[in-house]
Amino acid sequence: MVRGARWQERLARVGIVGLAWLSLLVVVLPLGLVVWLSFFADEIPALPPAGYSLRWYRAALGLPQFASGFETSLIVAVMATTAGLLVSIPAALVLARGRFPGRSVIVQVLTAPLIVPAIVIGAGMYVAFVQAEVATGLELTGNAATLAAGHALLTIPWCLRLLLANLAGLDPATEEAALSLGARPFTAVRLITLPMVWPGVVAAALFSFVVSFSNLEISIFLVVPGETTLPIAIFQYLQWKMDPTVAAVSTLQIAIVGLGLLLTNRFVPLGRVL
């Protein structure tokens, strides 16, 4: 009996560890393949590669649509992240402790974009902007602010979810202690509450940035020719060519995001908040 139980236990452990490695492989393998592919010398990727080269990196950096796409994506992501935090921090503070009528409705409305397909949001925003342009005569589409406004629909729910989860773990007594010691509510939030959920704020910013930076579905409705984001530039390039330039661009993108994560992790241990 005992021996049998041990044997089963060992099998179960091997199974779990194996499953974990398999999942990791499924996640990492495509990334690894992209990185590998970016160094292939051939124009049409084939296995095994004829040789290795850095020419696709040179090609990628030389193509203006990637450089400008990268710049636009960066600007839009920063704006969308800022907008997401500006809306969701005050909202989360109120929603986390308040018990007032309509509370859950507000949470639902603010997080609803997560359950609407992004392509629908994009189409909806496009129609709305065009209608607004017609009505006001102002030129609204085709700039970074419009894109950021669209992306904010994704960053707000992400930020709100993360911040609410962080605030839920916070003992309200800590803030009450600050109030009893003479801090006005705004001071208590600034000096006590926000520093305590700081890791959550950083995680929210990071998520928002990545979500916006890599977004394709909403952007595709809101860009104009000549003013595109990096994912769209990649997408458009792929429609014509299959050479490893795209793999090189993707590898650069992975490296930048990875570097950002590593840097963030130095200041805020991400394992604790994600």
Partner 1 sequence: MAQVELAGLTKHYGAAAAVDDVTLVIEQGAFTVLLGPSGCGKTTTLRMVGGFIEPTAGRIRIGARDVTREPPWRRNIGLVFQNYALFPHLTVFENVAFGLRRRRVRDPDLTRRVTAALDLVRLGEFATRLPRAMSGGQQQRVAIARAVAIEPDVLLLDEPLSNLDAKLRHDVRAELAALQKRLGLTTVMVTHDQDEAMSLGQNLVVMSEGRVRQVGPPATIYRRPIDRFVAGFVGRGTFLAGTAQGDVFVTARGARIACVALNPAATVLLVRPEAVRLRPPDAGFPQAVVQSAVFAGAAHEVALRLDSGEVLQALASGDPSTGQCYGIEIEPTAPVGLAPEQERMA
Q: Site residues (CB under 8 A) for partner 1? A: 171, 173-174, 176-185, 187, 191-192, 195-196, 198
Instruction: Indicate the residue among 246 and 273 with the shorter CB distance to partner 1.
Output: 273
Q: How far is the CB of 33 from partner 1 (least distance, A)?
A: 43
DSSP conformational letter for 224: B
Max alpha carbon distance in the chain (Å)?
82
- Least gap, CB of 180 to partner 1 (angstroms): 4
Q: How far is the CB of 85 from partner 1 (least distance, A)?
A: 19
Q: Please report how close the Cβ of residue 178 comes to partner 1 at its closest, in angstroms.
A: 7
Are 233 and 225 a contacting pair, CB within 8 Å? no
204 vs 35: CA distance, rounded Å: 28
Cβ proximity to partner 1: between 119 and 177 the closer is: 177
Tokens of 118: 């992004």
Min dist. Cβ of residue 187 to partner 1 (A) = 7
User: Can you say whether the dihedral through the CA atoms of 250, 254, 256, 257 is positive or negative?
Assistant: positive
Q: Please, which residue, 194 or 252, has the CB nearer to partner 1?
A: 194
Determine whether 241 is exposed, middle or buried from the number of CB atoms within 10 Å of its CB (0-12, 13-18, 19+). Answer: exposed
CA distance 55 to 42: 10
* Residue with Cβ nearer partner 1 (22 or 191): 191
Nearer of residues 9 and 176 to partner 1, judged by Cβ:
176
Distance, in Å, from the CA atom of 86 to the CA atom of 271, rounded to the nearest integer, reads 24
**Cα(47)–Cα(272) distance, integer angstroms:** 41
Residue 128 or 179 with smaller CB distance to partner 1:
179
83: left (phi over 0), alpha (psi -120 to 50) or beta: alpha
Residue type, 218: I
| Nearest CB to partner 1, comparing residues 13 and 184 | 184
Q: How far is the CB of 209 from partner 1 (least distance, A)?
A: 24
CB of 108 to partner 1, least distance (A): 25
Q: What is the DSSP string of 47-95?
A: SS-S-B-SHHHHHHHH-HHHHHHHHHHHHHHHHHHHHHHHHHHHHHHHH
